[in-house]
Every structure is written in C-alpha cells, then in structure tokens.
A and B are shown apart, each in its own frame.
Chain A
Amino acid sequence: MTANLNDKPLLSARNLGKHYGQRLGCRDVSFDLYEGEVLAVVGESGSGKSTLLSLLATELAPTAGRVDYRMRDGETRNLFDLSEAERRFLLRTDWGFVRQDARDGLRMGVSAGGNVGERLMAVGGRHYGRIRDTASDWLNRVEIGPERIDDLPKSFSGGMRQRLQIARNLVTHPRLVFMDEPTSSLDVSVQARLLDLIRGLVTELGLAVIIVTHDLAVARLLSHRIMVMRQGRVIETGLTDQVLDDPREAYTQLLVSSVLAA
C-alpha cells in the first residue's frame, strides 16, 4: 500500500448501530477507511460483523450513527441521505460486493460473459463487441479460460464462481469492495488460489476493501488492519499483525489461541 498520508478518508463510520427491535445487531462502530486500505472485520457468528457489512453497503438502515463517503466528484455525503437512484448508482459503479454464496452475487441464468458485461452495460456500455472484449479480458484476469465465456455459472466449480464474481465486481473499476466470507465455502486448496488472486488484484488496483471473515488466516493474508467484534461491539482494533501477534483483549486472545497450527 502506498499511502498518501495527507489524504482524506474514503469512508468514515461514526457511532453506527443497528437494533432489530430489542435485539442488538451492532452498536457504536466508528472507523475511517482510506483508499487502498484493506480492513478485516473478524468475529464469530452473531458478533454483528455481517450486520455491520450490510449497514456499510446500505442494504440495511441503521438505528444510530452515520457513514460518510467521499464520492468520485470529491464531495463527502452521508450514505443514508442519498436518494435511491444515487445509492444504486454507487452500488453499480464505485462499489463491489463479493458474496459468500456466489448464487447471491451472480445471475445464475446468464452466461459468464453476460455476468461481467451486465455491470458494464449498467454504467453505459453499449457497444457489444467492446463489452465482450472487456468481459473476456476480465475472465482472463481471474483465470477463467476464454472458451468458458458463453457457459452458465451453474456449470462452474465453486472456486470458478467466486472468481467470476470478482470479475463481475471489478470490471467497473470500483474504489471500494465489500467481501462477505469470500473463501469460506471453498475447499482449502481452492481457497489459497482465490486468496492469492484477490491479494494481487487488490494491490494492483489499489482497492479499498472491507472483508468480513471468521478466518484469521484470511485476515492475516489480505488485510492491513483488523477489527475484532463480539456481541455487536468492536472490542479491539489495530494493525493486523499486531492484533494477531500481540492480542490485548481476552476474547481476541481466545480467538487467536483457538486456531489450529498446521
């Protein structure tokens, strides 16, 4: 990461919280994210990490707090003040969202090339040949052979589907990508290849990423910073290798010591 230390955050969450009725999703979450920075949110099921991701991606409305985002035109806006049209435009252009289950992130009845090309058409691409060329180029970058461009994702393995999701999300050159357990449904050998691919693309494109994972090895490999969540709150945060090698909180120490060394 080549940090310009004088720049302003891309995204700032302040006192963000969500209650489902009486039940707590997450509360008092505050952090800044800068361009090119990869933030891992770790914790067990029910820690509030998925709720937080949904809030940040504006899929859920918060019950407290705000999220300021620096738009491409340089203006900073509270995400929850955007109109529906503005929000959709952001989702289609400046953001990506890689889901745990590729079926939630892909259109399973549309060809691989179509899945990638669709995002381009959504940002105004009209020329069929150029769209197909760009789609083909992106399939190549995620290591899907050109002969598969007209195949349906249904015929793809789990690892290929995840790589197709990544191509679909990155083709519009987003600045911020959300990832929800992108590798956890895959076999270990397939995970390593996908992580390696994600790592390379994130560095090359200078992406800001917020990745939710329960897997500390994934966090160590991909992220610069880590946020540990428990019972809806952020309990520890810092440089990734610092939090993992010198955890301060009891719960973080438990998480780190629970990883089986291979």
Chain B
Amino acid sequence: MTHNLVTLEGVSKAFTLHLRDGLKISVVDNVSFSVAPGECVVLGGPSGAGKSSILKMVYGNYRCDHGRILVRDGDEFVDVATAEPRRILALRGSVMGYVSQFLRVIPRVSALDIVAGAATDSGVGRAEAWARAERLLTLLNVPERLWSLPPATFSGGEQQRVNIARGLAADRPVLLLDEPTASLDAANRAVVVRLIEEKKRAGAAIIGIFHDEDVRDLVADRIVDVTEFAASKAA
C-alpha cells in the first residue's frame, strides 16, 4: 500500500439534479483500486459507466461523496476527497497531470510556450523545458511553422496534439489520461503509446481511459472494470 501513488478506497459518487426535482443519479459506488509507480491502470466499461467521473474525482474536479482518494506527494498522502482547494492546486502543480482531448486555449500564448510553460511550471529548467517542448511537438507531428502561433486557429487535431504535448511535458508522478487518443490517426496514436511507455519507465502511475482497444492493450498493465462499481439503483 505505502508504495502506491494513488489509492481509492470505497469511493462513491452521485449527482443530485436540483433543477429536475432533486433527481439523484448514482454514478459509482464503492470504487477501490490502487496504482503503483510505473503502472498503467486502464478503466474499462461502456460509455456512461462512470470512468470519466472517477478520473475527475481523482483530479479534484468532481467532488467525492464517500470514501478516500489518497495521492502521494513526497512522504505525505493527501486525501483529495477532503483536502482544501489550495492543497489540491498544489497537487496539480507538482504531482498530478490531467490530459483530455480538449485544449483550453489561452489567448495570445504560442503553442511552443504553452507546452514549455507546462514543464517550467512543474520545476523543469528553461532550456530543458523548451527542448522537451520541441521534441514533443515534433514527435506529435505539429508542423514547426505553427509553433510560434497561438493554437486558437489550429485545426481540432492540431490542438489536441498540442494539448497532449502540454500534458506530457512536465514530470508528474501521477498522470490521468481521459481519452487522449480519441480521433487521432494511427501514426499519432502510436506516438502517444510510445510517450506513455516512456512515462511508465520513468515511474509514473497512470490511470487512463482509452476508447481504442489497440492502444489499451498496448499500454495497460491492468484493466479495472468500472461496471463492478455500478451503483445500485436504490441508493
């Protein structure tokens, strides 16, 4: 247990929709699993099973109603379910990275600076950060002529690849991947698989959701079937 970077214990989540007469939708119940350094756990199950909600709870983006979500920060275990906002922000700053398929564009910041900035924010030196950014953008086939431009005008696919580069530029011991390869072509999917392998070798604990079975089979050390945590409708 102590060497795991992420541990979920008895995690439950429901949404109460006040605008629909307080309709309560239970998402998952009693989720328990943990992830060791260098391990990639893939969440499996059909759409709507609560995979994304679990990832968002670990990141602190969704609230956790019951249970504990322990994330290791140095010698300390932080329970994201109860931690103060500033503690969660500190975890996001140095421990947890979240990569989705969507880029939240920052106006007027170039693609290269977005990616390198993610690295420097996590404590990587400037020269190393820009070198990494150039390598990642090259690997992910973002044309060099675009690097100095803000991604607002890029195609959806280009933005997505800039976002993946940003998410992987930092050294974060915990990575949460929410369908990063959705709608990528085969060549770029292969690049992402290679980058995930690199992160695993560097000791990152990864929790991922992958729609593509080929990607999933290549990166997963273990598949956690989220339907096992289906909430009973009576809850």
Residues of A participating in the B interface, judged by any CB pair closer than 8 Å: 1-3, 5, 34, 37, 192-193, 196, 224-225, 238-239, 241-242, 245-246, 248-250, 253-254, 257
Q: Is the CB of A239 within 8 A of B18?
A: no
Residues of B participating in the A interface, judged by any CB pair closer than 8 Å: 15-19, 56, 60-63, 85-90, 93, 106-108
Query: 9 closest A-B pairs (Cβ-Cβ)?
Result: A250-B18, A239-B85, A246-B62, A3-B90, A196-B107, A225-B85, A253-B18, A3-B86, A246-B63
Q: Is the CB of B62 within 8 A of A242?
A: yes
Q: Is the CB of A37 within 8 A of B63?
A: no
Chain A residue contacts of B60, Cβ below 8 A: 239, 242
Nearest CB to that of A254 among chain B residues? Answer: B19
Pick the residue among A34, A196, A245 that contacts B86 (CB under 8 A).
Answer: A34
Nearest CB to that of A197 among chain B residues? Answer: B108
Known interface pairs A3-B86, A5-B86; A242-B63 also in contact (CB < 8 Å): yes
Q: Is the CB of B90 within 8 A of A5?
A: yes
Distance of B171 from chain A, by nearest CB (Å): 16
Q: Is the CB of B107 within 8 A of A192?
A: yes
Q: Is the CB of B19 within 8 A of A245?
A: no
Q: Which of A1, A34, A242 has the most CB of B within 10 A?
A: A242
Known interface pairs A239-B88, A250-B18; A2-B63 also in contact (CB < 8 Å): no
Chain B residue contacts of A242, Cβ below 8 A: 60-63, 85
Q: Is the CB of B61 within 8 A of A196?
A: no
Known interface pairs A196-B108, A245-B62; A253-B19 also in contact (CB < 8 Å): yes
Nearest CB to that of B17 among chain A residues? Answer: A253
Known interface pairs A196-B107, A254-B19; A245-B61 also in contact (CB < 8 Å): yes
Chain B residue contacts of A225, Cβ below 8 A: 85-86
Bound Cα distance A192, B105 (Å): 12
Q: Is the CB of A241 within 8 A of B90?
A: no
Distance of B72 from chain A, by nearest CB (Å): 15
Chain B residue contacts of A239, Cβ below 8 A: 60-61, 85, 88-89
Contacts A/B (CB < 8 Å), 26 sampled? A1-B93, A2-B93, A3-B89, A3-B90, A5-B90, A34-B86, A192-B107, A196-B106, A196-B107, A196-B108, A224-B86, A225-B85, A225-B86, A238-B63, A238-B85, A239-B61, A242-B60, A242-B61, A242-B62, A242-B85, A246-B61, A246-B62, A248-B63, A250-B18, A250-B19, A253-B18
Q: Which of B60, B86, B106 has the most CB of A within 10 A?
A: B86
Bound Cα distance A253, B87 (Å): 25
Q: Is the CB of A241 within 8 A of B19?
A: no
Chain A residue contacts of B106, Cβ below 8 A: 196
Distance of B97 from chain A, by nearest CB (Å): 15
Bound Cα distance A253, B23 (Å): 13
Q: Is the CB of A1 within 8 A of B89?
A: yes
Distance of A3 from chain B, by nearest CB (Å): 5
Chain B residue contacts of A34, Cβ below 8 A: 86
Bound Cα distance A1, B121 (Å): 9
Nearest CB to that of B86 among chain A residues? Answer: A3
Nearest CB to that of B107 among chain A residues? Answer: A196
Bound Cα distance A255, B140 (Å): 39
Bound Cα distance A239, B64 (Å): 13
Q: Is the CB of B107 within 8 A of A224?
A: no
Bound Cα distance A249, B15 (Å): 11
Known interface pairs A196-B108, A253-B17, A253-B19; A241-B61 also in contact (CB < 8 Å): yes
Chain A residue contacts of B15, Cβ below 8 A: 246
Bound Cα distance A248, B210 (Å): 29
Distance of B68 from chain A, by nearest CB (Å): 17
Nearest CB to that of A203 among chain B residues? Answer: B121
Chain A residue contacts of B90, Cβ below 8 A: 3, 5
Nearest CB to that of A2 among chain B residues? Answer: B93
Bound Cα distance A125, B107 (Å): 36
